[in-house]
Structure 1
Amino acid sequence: MGARNLIPLILLLVFVGVLAVVGFVVYSIVQDVSKNTREKMERKNIAFTKDGMKVQVKEIEDEAYKDRTQGVLVNMWNHTSFPAYKSRLWDMSGSSSTDQKNGAEKRKY
């Protein structure tokens, strides 16, 4: 009779032990993923604090910012073409101003 009363107790202890092991494994995996994610985000200047998330911005000097912006605009202008555009102010084809006057008379509106 004593052995029959011990079997449910042993099964309960085994079940609780399995749950404890599974819980510990899940906890350790979550902690590892959290640590790796935090390290990757800190490399990208993002920090998690108790108050929330803080994003640090790389400082760039005003002159360097203007130089980069102007460089992008100049590159865009140099690589752009206007196939059917003819300016009234200047001739993109390189003809002389006398040709422009003669060409203005030949234009069809």
Structure 2
Amino acid sequence: MANNLIPLIILFLVVGVLGVVGFVVYTIVQDISNKTKANMEKKNIMFTKDGVKVSMKHVKDEDYKDQTQSVLVNVWNHTSFPGYKSRLWDNGATPEPEKKVTRR
């Protein structure tokens, strides 16, 4: 009877060891997969059933408007209009000599 139990115990030990090794490999693969997915989503690349999708980074509407306004203000401040003379402010330009109006 003991001769029949030894191969059965060895079989259970081998199956148990293979199960533990398989579980460890599975958890490592899942962890690497989740970290890779999170890293790719930071770069706006997503894996879907249809394939790989590259998307735009989500930017709030207010942040988008602030960035575009900042660019426009910087462009406006760094340009010059040599032929432009404002009627409202001097803008650092030299004043024109006043013309004398003669009436007859």
When normalised by structure 1's length, the TM-score is 0.51
Identity of aligned residues (%): 62
Q: Deviations over 1:21-40 (max 9, x none)?
A: 00000000000000000000
Per the TM alignment, residue 57 of structure 1 is displaced from its structure 2 partner at its CA by 3.7
- Per-residue CA deviation, residues 75-108 of structure 1 (Å, 9 max, x unaligned), is xxxxxxxxxxxxxxxxxxxxxxxxxxxxxxxxxx
What amino acid sits opposite 2:17 in the alignment? V
Counterpart in 2 of 1:7?
6
In the alignment of these two chains, the number of paired residues is 61
Q: Partner residue of 1:46?
A: 45
Structure 2: runs of 5+ lacking an equivalent: 72-104
RMSD: 2.0
Distance 1:32 1:57 in 2: 26
Give distance in 1, aligned partners of 2:51 and 2:23.
Answer: 27
| Corresponding letter in the other structure for 1:33 | I
Structure-2 residue corresponding to 1:56: 55
- Find the aligned partners of 1:19 and 1:51 in 2 and give their Cα distance: 35
Q: Which runs of 4+ in 1 moved over 4 A?
A: none
1:47 deviation in Å? 0.6
**5+ long unaligned stretches in structure 1:** 68-109
Residues in 2 aligned to 1:27 and 1:52: alpha-carbon distance in whole angstroms? 23
